[in-house]
Amino acid sequence: MVGKNYISRYLEDLIPVAFELETAKEFMAFGIGPAQFKVKLNGQIPKRELMRSTSLALGEAYMRGDLEVNRDLYEVLEMLLGRMDRFRTSPGALHGRKNGSLGMKNQKKEVCSHYDIGNDFYRLWLDETMSYSCGYFKNPEDTLFEAQVSKTDHILQKLQPKMGMTLLDIGCGWGFLLMRAAKRYGVKGVGITLSEEQYRQFSQEIKDQHMEDRIEVRKMDYRELSGSGMKFDRVVSVGMVEHVGRGNYDIFLENVAEVLEPGGLFLLHFISAQKEHGGDPFMRKYIFPGGVIPSLREIMDLLPEYDFYTLDVESLRRHYTRTLLCWRENFSKHREEIETGHGEEFARMWELYLASCAASFHNGVVDLHQILMSKGVNNELPMVRMV
């Protein structure tokens, strides 16, 4: 197990500010000037785990309660994630998780492990739209609900839908985007999802609002689009391509191209990275099994192969930082209820997930991009930017 000398040297190299370290036997101060926070170790962290993966070893220690900090977790991670070049990730830390199985059965299992935790759980900390993706804060005083409505409108304005058009939402979640598109623009929509919980709630919502003649939701893998015979004027995918996996991006784009009418528009909204990498071991193990964040350039590089013409690319990175902090605030308000239903370790894991993601976006470790494209050349679109 790690002795005090090793763990102190490890943390001193990792933490860029003055801090204090407290263990059962020792109290130590590091750095110059007043301590920014204190790390308290209530248990030991095996050296082999730290050598294998910084994020996994420290993340699991935090989940167990073996590691605590006396300052807001987001603020601490904000300091740490600026030095991710010092994080260690051995090849073995991602073994079996780097890409995983790219087949339908395994990917459905991975997706459902996250999204089927329960609608009641997500309802506690998402807003009324049940949007589990980056909001769009047009004004400093906007609430999370207003930002999610603005995000949906922002996407729909880019897609320029018209009465009677058809819209496909790949990874439709709980259905707010399709509902708003049908009500505001008079489009007919189809949403596909692998989540049983999302499918169940969206199906009920369609019935409750008597929209069966305008909206349909299907439990369907994106690979089933090709050969389905369906055709759409517009296609949107929000926060779904991160589950496709490196090695399947071609298949994903091929299926979109198959169902999109010539001249039709496709908007892809996704978490992106500056460079290609295998992912974070903690996230891959506990939050998004099989999930891979694509780089912007690897997606852009593939578009011409499927006759997609890029019309617009926009970064919403800082909007996602604020979205995550809103989610974390809501999560904290319901912390006791979440712990009662799922246990303290689960609650600490999700707290760490939300805080670390917010810090990752703020530090530019990851980004959020929207790419608007047409299938083939479309000379009928307005010559000026719509939004």
The residues carrying an active-site annotation are 357
- d(CA 177, CA 162) in angstroms, rounded, equals 15
* Cα(315)–Cα(299) distance, integer angstroms: 14
- Neighbouring CB atoms inside 10 A of 232's CB total 23
Element (H, E) at 4: helix 4-14
Phi and psi at 198, nearest 5°, equal -65, -40
User: What residue type is 56 in one-letter code?
Assistant: L
Cα gap 146→142, rounded to integer Å: 6
What phi and psi, each to the nearest 5 degrees, are found at residue 167?
-130, 130
What is the crossing angle of helices 73-80 and 344-362, to 10°? 50
Residue 343, classified by CB atoms within 10 Å of its CB into exposed (0-12), middle (13-18) or buried (19+), is exposed
Distance CA 195, CA 171 (A): 9
